[in-house]
Every structure is written in structure tokens, then in C-alpha cells.
Structure 1
Amino acid sequence: MENMMLLSKFFDALAQSSKNRYIFVCDIQQDIWKGSKNMVEQMGLPSDIMVGGGVIWGEHIHPDDRERFIQDIADVFSGKTQMHDMVYRAKDADGEYVVCSCFGSTINDENGNPLYFVGTIDNHGIANEFDAVTGLFTKEKLLDVLRENREAKQKYNVLFIGILNFTEINNVYGYDFGNKVLKEFANHLFDYPEAEAFQAGGTKFALVSSELSFKLMKQVFEELVEYGRHGIKIDGIDVTLVLGGSYTEVVNFNVDERAVYTNGIRGLGESMKEKHGELQVFSISNLDKNHERIVLINALRNSINNGCQGFSLVFQPIVDSVNEEVKGAEALVRWSKDPFGSVPPEDFIAWLEDDPIFYDLGLWIFRTAMKLWKEIVLPKYPEISLSINVSYMQLERQNFRKDFMKIVRDLDFPVDRLFLELTEKCRFLDKNFLRNEIIFFKSNGIGAFIDDFGTGFSALELLLSLPVSGIKIDKSFVKGIENDERKKIVASAIIKCAKDVGVTTTVEGIESAQMRDILSDYDTAFFQGFLYSQPVSIEEYVELPLFDRKIK
């Protein structure tokens, strides 16, 4: 009895080690299951000890996945196989389907008969404090630490580091190799125990310290630059890392932690894109040259907090490449507010995309775009579709699926008229996670496109591994194609490759009839660009001459 009580305590201790990982054990002979208490709470199970637990859990499995699950468990119980390894969708306590990955194996008696079935279930719909690829604390944990420092009025310094050449590494060696690079670099950050290390989104990292001075933090950055320059060895291959960085000293506790984060990330962007990796230094106590940006970021954040005042949507038509009939539109966001005037989206999206408040703006865009489309466009043109961008920051949020699908249900929006465009930075998400997200939306009737194909999101392995409906070739990739034979060859190859694997192609940035004619010869499916229309309001969109005639 004492041993059983001790084993039970061991089980409970292990079960509490992770928010999103469940532990289970099953007595196969008696069909008695014991599972983690967090699994009971989060997945709506009747108890942590269940007779016939496999049947009960099977009722939570998505109907499309249930038969595979039942057959695989039957093979385990019969002794036909000793291992269960499956990814499926399961209904949680709120009635929403989340992607789960389950791994288990049997413990056999001396005759090889299965006695116990033990394993883990990872709920990928629940955010974890640790990043799956690097093992570092997540961006959400970083914000919690910054908030705690602000509330405790604790002065601190934060160093952001980014890998400038990661896209090239990914494209040359592949996605999985790139993840190993991130993991190896993250491991090196543990060499600085005076600072807490975080994965700050994508290929960005952060070190936070209340002990290290600016001089020492700068020394840390210089050491990291040298570490990357001398190269790291992955699978026998020497890889050189080119780094950029930004440093922020925080001694003003009236500044929101999100503004600190956004400012640091923006500084990192300047280091990586404009300063050739040079460390950018800011002080939140002395805003001097950084004042204008901080004011603008705060104005953007205030606009979002006030119901997205100053934000509006415009729509750019997407046409069929054969007869140039309108087939849909992409929703695009704009922002204008005194005294700033109209701020180009390429500026404020870059400032906001890494700010947690961008999530709220994203939900506003989804709701507003779908509402306008259903009320104004579909009554007049019921067959055309709406495309909306989705960023990596939105996808990795714990409640994104639930929040997005609630908007769809609230508006009763026809899902067969809705597409999501995965923006460039989505490539930094774990490939399996991204694949599962696409599968989830596809299972709900919503298609997904890879946006910005031909820029950083150009790895062909993503085209092969992600179950997307199509790709959108970025306008920068085809600009000047009329006089560039190499671009013609590459564009033709990409479009043919996409078609051969059953994926449609949309080309953005069509500005001339000559460009249109060249790409038409390559069997492109859809066009988008100023040749047809600039982005316009929803009222202007439904009155476009495109709906009545062909462009010549």
C-alpha cells in the first residue's frame, strides 16, 4: 500500500511539470486509466481515474481522426504493436478542437503480453512558458518579467539579439537544420547566468538583467557576435551567424513593458537592416532621438485600445488570369491620426507586429473585414472570396483559434468564401505547429495561402510540407520581370512547381499589361496589382468597372 501511495505521488508530481503535457497510465487487463488532473480540467474528462478511459477519450477525438485512433489503440491492447505515436484533434472543455500529439508504449510481462500502457499527450492549443524549439522562456514570459520589474520599480537592462542571415541558412540547409541552429545558439545564452534568456519571437532573443551594467551587456553582445562569426557546427557543417542587437536601459517605471519590448524590437530591426549589425543603444529615461518613435508607438497603441480609432480597411481586387474576372480581394489596413497624418502600413505594421497589442488589432481586422464583406459584397457578388493576412504572432497565441472561430460564428460568415494569408514571419514558427494550424482551419472549411513567396518565405520545402491552398508571389520578386530573363525563368519554375503539387498561384504587383502577358504564359492562376486597381474602400470596391468589363 505504501508503495502504491508513493507511486501515486510520483505520478502527480510528474503530471504537474507542464501545463500543456498530460501523463497517462493504463492497466490494460482491467482497462483502468489514470490521467493528469490538468488533462481532466482542460479536456473536460469525468475523472482522473476512469474505467474504459480509451473509449471515453475516443469520444473527444475529432470524427475524422477517431477511426485511426481506435484502430491504433486496439493494436496496442492486442499486443500487435508496442507503441502509439499519433497526432489528432481532440475536443477540450470549451468544446473547441485542439491539436494533440500522443506518444505511448507498453510494459509487458515476462511472456511478452502487454500489462500497462503509459505515455504523454501534448496539447498544442495551450501556451507553454518554454519555447519548443529553443527551450528558452517564451516572449509571453519575457513580458511577464518586464511587468514584474516595472511593478517592483526594479531598474533593468534588456539586450535583444537577432540572427541576420537566418533566412539564408534556412533556404540552403532546410527548416529542421535551421531549428538546430536556433537551439545551439540558445544553449550558448545559458553561459550568462547573470541574465535571464528568452526567445523573443522568430529568430530574436533577449537577455534581461538587473545586475549587468551597460558596459558588461555590451561586452556580452560583442562576445556573442564573435561566437557567431567563428561559426557553430551543426551535423558536421560549420555555420557562420551574423548578429544584430539593441540595448535598452529601463529606469522609468511609467513606461509600459509592451512599449519597452516594441522599442527594443524596432531597434533590433534597425540594427539588422540599416546598421549592419551594430548595437543600437536606447535609454527609456532619456528619449531624445527616440522620442518621436515612442510617441508614435504609444499613439498607435492608444488607437487600438480605443476601439481601433483611426484604423480603416481597404480592399484590392484579385482577378482570374484567364478572363480577368474579379474572384476576390485582399483586406489591407490603414492608419491615419492627427498630428501624424497617414502613416504608411509598411512602417506601422513593422512597429506593431511584435507588440502583443497587435493581436487586438488583428481581431478587429478580422471582424471588420468579414462584416463589411458579408453586408456589402456578398449580397451583390456571392461567389467572390475574401483574403485576410494572419501573422506568426497571432497564430502562436493560445486563444487564437477560439477567438477567430468565434468571429466567424458570430457573423455567420461563409467559410468557403474566406482565405487566410500566412505572412512572411510565419516561417519562424515550428513547422509541425504551423502545419497543424493550417489543418485546423482547413478542417473548418477555411483555406490558407503562403504570402510573400519569393522573399524570406521562399523555401520550397514549406510548399511541399504545408497543406496550403495556394501561394502568393511577392511583387518585389517579379518587379522588372519584363527585362530580366533570370526572373522569368525562376518565376516560371515556381509557378509550374506549385501547379504540379496542386497549389494555385497568385502574383502580386501586376503593374503593366506586358508583365501580365508574360506571367499569363506561365499559367498563373490569379493576378493582383495596380493594373487592375489600387486598394479602395469597400463602397468603391463593389462599384469597380472590373465587375463589368475586361482589362485590355
Structure 2
Amino acid sequence: MANIKEQKLRKLKKSYIGGSFAGFIIIGTIVFSLFASLFAVFGLYIMDTKLRDEYARVSKIAEVYSILKDAGNEGISRILESGETVYLITDADMNVIETHGKNTCDLSKGGKIDILEFTDEAAVPTDEEGIHGHIGSMVEKARDNAITVYPDTEVAIITPSGRGRVMIDFMELRSIISGTDYGSDALSLQQAYFVKLPFWIDIPVDANHHMICKAYFNIYFRELAILSFLAVMVVALTFVTLVFVLAYIIKTVRNRKRMNEIFFMDETTGQHNWLWFITNAERELKKKYNADKKYAVLDVVFVNYRNFCVCHSVEEGGKMLCRINDRIQGFLGKHELTAHHSASHFAVLLEYRDRDELEARIRKMIDDLEHINDEHKFYYWIGVDRIPESKDEKGRVVRRDNIDVEKEFNNAGAARATLTVEDSAIAFFDEKMVEEQRWIDLINENQMRALASEEFVVFYQPKYDPRTRELKGAEALIRWMSPEHGMISPGRFIPIFEKNGFITKIDHYMLAHVARDQRRWLDAGYDCVPVSVNVSRAHFIESDLAEQIKGIVDDAGTPHDLIEIELTESAFFDDKNALISTIKKLREYGFAVSMDDFGSGYSSLNSLKEMPLDVLKLDADFFRNDDGDGRGQIVVSEAIKLAQNLKMRTVAEGVEEKNQVDFLAEQGCDMIQGFYFAKPMPKDEYEERMNNKTA
């Protein structure tokens, strides 16, 4: 999960950083290309206009020449010379027949160019006897939109490109403008225009003759000013646009960086959150130069957090979490990390050399955190999962490419969950905890199926009178007969059921089976004795518990005096009023009620005074490990006397030796339950015990 989030976050960063710069380049290119294209189109328009004008001028000269030539007028040259036009007359093979003016035409580098359509019939006199026909012919030629041009040999700036356009050699033009001397005839500078560039236009006169006239590409000051202005505008607008886009990108990156900070910020502490921790911890652990280092992931829990919030306020609790976060931060090295995980949990990444050094460092941190408040001493539970050096099968150091910090933190949390002391403590994770968790998951997955298929089996452990050896009762004990795992002892699944709440279903199941067994045995003629059935403390949140028990027993048709309800000692520390009310109802319905494991925990004599119990079961630890000074026997003896004075029967459980039996018999103990007389047994073996009646 963490890796998926990190990958998505990495993609997000790349998208807005790489995407922003890519967008900057793309937009800049588009804007520059747009303005440059407009500039180029405008320049081409001006160039086409000038070429068209020059073509129109020389076309008229060629038309006049053609008309007069057809009329046989011998004064053609004189007429044309008066116009100061420089031209050549060539034959069809481009051999020069006649020249007028200085011939600087480079006939070897000619080429066709495209110009805008030209029709200007009004510029040439028309008559119905021939001139009109000449003009029409020239117009048709112009409409072809392709003319032949030649460069000038002295000023070879304008040349055909071979792609239907003319090229201007701007380097040469720059040299001309800067003062390079090409000859007074080659380049003319006049006040009306900035520069005029010569080139030659070919006009076909007839099938056998061409007139090649010298034309000029005039660049006027106003045109140069407009072009310069447009060039400056292109650059300026491009620059302004790019500046605007760049400013927008910078603002976007900053905003997203701020969003990133908020994304990684914990709401309670204002510092780093859990996602920041797993992202940066994994990045740190995956660095190649950290592969030979040992790390530990800690789950630090502020045990007193809820009580502190109740006594003060949630707001004050949040402030205390901030102080704890800052204090932990002060213990960290350069590349060590911490973040608030949730509620009272903090995640920490530490570097260490060996376990002793790590544990000493953690205890030092705990000692400081315990006294973070002058008015209270706080406690902390810390789970630790160690990450060793990363090496391959040959012992070579390799990168931790597959590290999962979230898994390591969960392992640390599993270790921390084993702590139950009321003081600060440290627990280190090991693989046994993984196996335990797998077992818990297996139990959770199979409990309902096992209940439905009645894999839970009732075993009975008899209770005997230590003096007469007569059978006086029994306790119903559960066993799980699993098809996959065989017989599972209650110690491996009952604690799990108590945590996940399934224990209430088990209690009902056991009570129903015991009641049905008792009914069946009665019908078979057995001399039945009371059987005690455990009822979990989890039931006592139910106000109708007594009614539920009565209903289950009545459904089986079993007399109430054959069912004893056994409560564990821990149940007496819950809602005392509800417990007393339930016990009274059960006794009213005819059920005996007993306290199990008296003496195993923190029994309260006050509970014995207030609870209307029928049976007191003494835990075996009361006298099992006597040091020989007789203190244990004294306690057991007095407990039996106390129960007798309270009109309660006594049962000693866990009895395994004859001297214990003899001692309990002397003290007046009513029943003994233990391996000395009998182990828990299936119902068929218990039936035999009922037949024998004595141990």
C-alpha cells in the first residue's frame, strides 16, 4: 500500500515539475512560431508585392517593345533608351542579341519564382487593331504566376531559391548596409529609400526572343522601420509571453510545493505525518550507501493519552502530542526520522549498531518522555522491529530494493501489542509473533465454520469429595477437534475468542450441549451431578443474561440444579451492580453460581461480602508452590473457613498430589478437581465415572 502511494506521489511530482517545464517549452515554441510566422507572412507579402510591381513595370516595357517590333518601327531602341531601362534581348537559346546599358545579368543562375496574379489591362493603350491582342498575351503569361529571374553579378543578393521563391542574402545585405563598397552602379542609396537591390526579370517577347530587364527590389525607410518594429514586437511579445508563462509555472510549482507540504503535514502536531514517514523512510533505507547499516522501526505509544484527554481536554492532549513529537525529534540523528502516526502512536526510524546500544538509547528516550510534564509521570509502550544489513546469499552488500516500512511498523506494533504492564516497556519483534498472528488469523477465519459443524466438543472433568472419594460434580471444558489440526487445547483459542467477542457464542454453545447431555443422562437413568459451565465476563453487558441462560437450559428440559454457572474472578471488576443483579436472578431461577480461580489475581474480600455466591473455587497456585514455611497452607485453610462462614461450598482445582488431597480433606474442602482424581475426559468416559460414583 505504501509503495503504491509513493509511486503515485512520485508520478504526481514528475507530472507537475516535468509537465510545467515541458509546457513552458511548448508554449514558448508555439508563441515564438506564431509571431515568427506572422512576421514571415508579412515579409513575404511585401516581397511578393515588390516583385509584382517590378514585374508589371518590365512587362509594360516588353509589351511596348513587342508592339513596335511587330510594326517594324526602327526607332525602338531610341524610344526604349529614353526610358533609361537596362535590358538584354536574347534568342530562344538565350544568346544575347542586343544589350542596352551595362550587362550584369548572370544568365547561368536563373530560376522560376511564383508571384501573385497580375492583371493590369488599363495600364496599356488598347485598340482594336493589334495592341489589345499583344496585351492579352502578356496578361495570360502573367497569370501563370511563375516568372524567370536572374541574379545580378555585381550585387548577388537576390537569387531564385529553386522552390518558387527568391532568397535574400542577409549577410551580404548587412555588408552593404555597413558600408562595403560594391561600386556606385551596383548599389544605389537614395533619400527616398534605404537600399535598392538589383535582379533581372525574363519576359518572353515571342517564340524566338526574350527581353531580360534589370529590376530593383527597393527597401524603403518606412518599410524597414515597420519590419524592425514588427521584429521588435515579435521578440518583445514572445519575451513577455514567456515571462508570464514562466511566472505562472513558478507560482504553480510553489503552490504545489505548498500543497505537498500540507499533504505531508499532520493535523495534530503540525509536523510530518505517516505518509511522509513511510515515503522518506523507504527512500532512506533504499539508498545504496545505507545498505550496510542497521535500522530499527519503532511504534511509540503514549499510554496515558486517553486518560489525559479525559482529565484535561482533547485540545490539551493534542498539545501534549506536539511536545512528545518535538522531544522525540530532539533524540534523532541526521538521517533518522519520526512522525505522528495516529492518536497516541508515533513512528520512529533509528540507526543502531547492536541491540544493547539500541535498547539503552530507547530507554534514555523513555526516561526523558516520562517526565515531559512536571505534574504527571507518563508511560510509554514501544514496539521495535529491527532491520539488519542488506546482503545477498554470498554475503555481499546490496540495496534494499524491496523494503516495506509499513510492514516493519506493523511488526513493531505487533510487538508493542504484547505489552500489558502498567509501566513503560519495550518489546522487540521476532518471527514467533508472525506465527502467532497467522494462528490468530486462522482461528478468526475458521471459528464460524467450526461452530456450525460442531467441531467444538465438551470434555468433562469430575469433582470428588476428598474424604469419601464420591463424585460430587464436574466442570464442562471445551476442546476443538479440527479436521486439519487435530485436537486444539482451549488455551490456544479461548483468549482469541475473548478478544474478538466470539466467546459469547461459545458460552451459549457449551451451555446448550451440557444441558442436552444432562437431560439425556437423566433419561438414561444416570445419577447426575451438577456440572459447572463457564460464562465469560463479556456477557455481563447484557441485562437479560439470566433470562438467556434459563431459556437455553429450559429448551433442553434440564433441571436448573444440575447446571452451575461459573464466573471468572476478573468478571467481578466490571459493572458490580449489573453482576450482582444477574447473580441474584440466576439463584432465583435455581442455578448455583461459583467464583472461578479465586486467588489467581487480585481477589477482593469485599467482593465475597457483596456477591451472593454458592461456590468458591480455590486456584491451585494458592498452595502449589509452598516454600515449606506453611504460609500457603495457612492461606488456604483460612480461605476455606471464610467460605464456610459465608455458607459457600469450596472446590480446590489443579490438585495433583496425595498430600494436597489429605490437607484439603482435613481443612473441610468440599470438592477436589484435578489430575490426582481425573483429567478432562470425553463424555463416554465421564458416563463410566458416573456409573462408578467413586474415584
Listed as ranges, the matches of 1:488-507 within 5 Å are 488-507=633-652
Q: Which amino acid aligns with 2:442?
A: A
Matched residue, 1:455: 600
Matched residue, 1:421: 566
Listed as ranges, the matches of 1:167-246 within 5 Å are 187=311, 190=314, 191-192=316-317, 210=342, 214-215=346-347, 226=370
Match of 1:271 among 419, 431, 451: 419
1:324 and 1:496, CA in 2 relative to 1: closer, same or farther beyond 3 A?
same
CA contact (8 A) 1:161 1:268 kept: no
CA contact (8 A) 2:383 2:426 kept: yes
The Cα of 1:369 is off from its aligned counterpart by: 1.9
The Cα of 1:194 is off from its aligned counterpart by: 9.5
| Structure with larger RCO (C-alpha < 8 A, sep 6+) | 1
Match of 1:320 among 424, 444, 465: 465
1:502 match: secondary structure? coil
Matched residue, 2:497: 352
1:407-453 alpha-carbon deviations (Å, 9 max, x no partner): 12211221111111111321331222221121121121112111000
Distance, in Å, in 2 between the alignment partners of 1:324 and 1:365 is 27
Distance, in Å, in 2 between the alignment partners of 1:357 and 1:265 is 24
2:590 match: secondary structure? coil
- Indicate yes or no: 2:444 matched with 1:296: no
Match of 2:620 among 475, 486, 506: 475
The Cα of 1:473 is off from its aligned counterpart by: 0.4
1:426 match: secondary structure? helix
Distance, in Å, in 2 between the alignment partners of 1:393 and 1:443 is 22
1:228 and 1:356, CA in 2 relative to 1: closer, same or farther beyond 3 A?
farther
Structure 2 runs not aligned, ≥5 long: 1-298, 322-339, 349-361, 386-410
Distance, in Å, in 2 between the alignment partners of 1:418 and 1:484 is 39
How many residues are paired up? 338
1:504 and 1:272, CA in 2 relative to 1: closer, same or farther beyond 3 A?
same
1:517 and 1:344, CA in 2 relative to 1: closer, same or farther beyond 3 A?
same
The Cα of 1:380 is off from its aligned counterpart by: 3.4
Structure with the bigger percentage of strand: 1
CA contact (8 A) 1:313 1:333 kept: yes
2:674 match: secondary structure? coil
The Cα of 1:534 is off from its aligned counterpart by: 0.4
1:225 and 1:548, CA in 2 relative to 1: closer, same or farther beyond 3 A?
farther
Distance, in Å, in 1 between the alignment partners of 2:318 and 2:623 is 48
Listed as ranges, the matches of 1:64-213 within 5 Å are 187=311, 190=314, 191-192=316-317, 210=342
1:231 and 1:311, CA in 2 relative to 1: closer, same or farther beyond 3 A?
farther
Higher-Rg structure is 2
The Cα of 1:386 is off from its aligned counterpart by: 1.0
Distance, in Å, in 1 between the alignment partners of 2:347 and 2:617 is 46
Distance, in Å, in 2 between the alignment partners of 1:294 and 1:189 is 35
RMSD: 4.4
Distance, in Å, in 2 between the alignment partners of 1:493 and 1:242 is 38
1:403 match: secondary structure? helix
1:306 and 1:264, CA in 2 relative to 1: closer, same or farther beyond 3 A?
farther
Distance, in Å, in 2 between the alignment partners of 1:211 and 1:389 is 36
1:215 match: secondary structure? strand
1:550 and 1:212, CA in 2 relative to 1: closer, same or farther beyond 3 A?
closer
Q: Identity across aligned pairs (percent)?
A: 24
Matched residue, 1:391: 536
Q: Which amino acid aligns with 1:215?
A: A
Distance, in Å, in 2 between the alignment partners of 1:301 and 1:322 is 45
Q: Which amino acid aligns with 1:214?
A: F
Structure with the bigger percentage of helix: 2
1:348-387 alpha-carbon deviations (Å, 9 max, x no partner): 2222212112221221111122212221367433451010
Q: Which amino acid aligns with 1:278?
A: A
Structure 1 runs not aligned, ≥5 long: 1-157, 164-181, 197-207, 233-239, 249-262
Matched residue, 1:548: 692
TM-score w.r.t. length of structure 2: 0.42
Matched residue, 1:409: 554
1:269 and 1:510, CA in 2 relative to 1: closer, same or farther beyond 3 A?
farther
